[in-house]
Homo-oligomer: A and B are copies of this chain.
């Protein structure tokens, strides 16, 4: 993130406070996350613990990967991001850590770091194979507390990637629902519903060139796209099932309250919504449904 103000009171950034973010599917009820927080503050007492979400659907690796990709770039680059969505705990999957120019990451090697790995080409990974950085006698069912949290805390407190693990060439990657792009259409699918019922799609990396023109940028490996695709936002039409949206807009209030709208969401993704309403419930559009931009 480029900060627009650099005044005298930002001089404090010189000596950064360690930050550890937490993203899990543990929920907030059972105290699992509380135990992780205790482990981390025992090892690195001055660490800032910052929650991303603990309400990832149980064992939904893709949802966690998407949330992570929309958040990590807003944190300082010295941040350690701890991600524990770990259906394979205690089995053969390895615990890993990844270092990028925009932050370090600790997670099971199950694809949850896919979007980070693809977006940050200058990354490297290690397998966490140094038990001296874990809690003693780790349990078989809660590596979040016994392996991942202590490693994240040690990294935040000064340990290096090579202290905590050994080089790993190819972390596990999720496969992508493919985008289909022709001169007439861009076709993707719904990948997430947010708390407001807004419908988020995998047609991502849309960028406004001006008031009328959008560009679909070839950032991720989700397409064979080599050149950006230009979209006339006013003339484009978006369909999903029998629903039809005229134009791609900038924000909800460009239509009346209660009206449907297609727009570019806050992370650059094509989004279907109802102004001050719940598009998921009212329109019945859900995860996995096809969404098409007619150019």
Contact = CB atoms under 8 A, between A and B. Distances in A.
A245 to B, nearest CB: 15
Interface string A154-170: 10011100000000000
B55 A37 contact: no
A12 B45 contact: yes
Contacts of A19: 41, 45
Given A9-B157, A50-B37, A58-B196, A42 B75 contact: yes
Contacts of A90: 250-254
Interface in A168-213: 192, 194-196
Closest 5 CB pairs of A and B: A90-B251, A91-B253, A38-B74, A142-B266, A34-B52
B70 A31 contact: yes
A30 interface: yes
B9 A158 contact: yes
Nearest to A273: B141
Contacts of A53: 28-31, 34
Contacts of A142: 266
Contact of A41 (B8, B30, B32, B75): B75
Which of A72, A132, A252 has the most chain B CB within a 10 Å cutoff? A252
A27 B276 CA distance: 16
Nearest to A250: B140
Nearest to A73: B38
Given A19-B41, A157-B9, A51 B28 contact: yes
Chain A: number of interface residues, binned into ranges:
35 or more
Contact of A74 (B13, B35, B75, B192): B35
Contacts of A39: 1, 74
Contacts of A148: none
Contacts of A17: 41, 45-46
A284 interface: no
A7 to B, nearest CB: 8
18 contacts: A1-B39, A5-B132, A5-B154, A12-B46, A19-B45, A29-B56, A30-B192, A31-B52, A34-B51, A37-B51, A41-B76, A42-B75, A88-B253, A89-B253, A140-B250, A141-B250, A141-B251, A145-B266
B141 A71 contact: no
A260 interface: no
Which of A34, A39, A154 has the most chain B CB within a 10 Å cutoff? A34
A55 B26 CA distance: 13
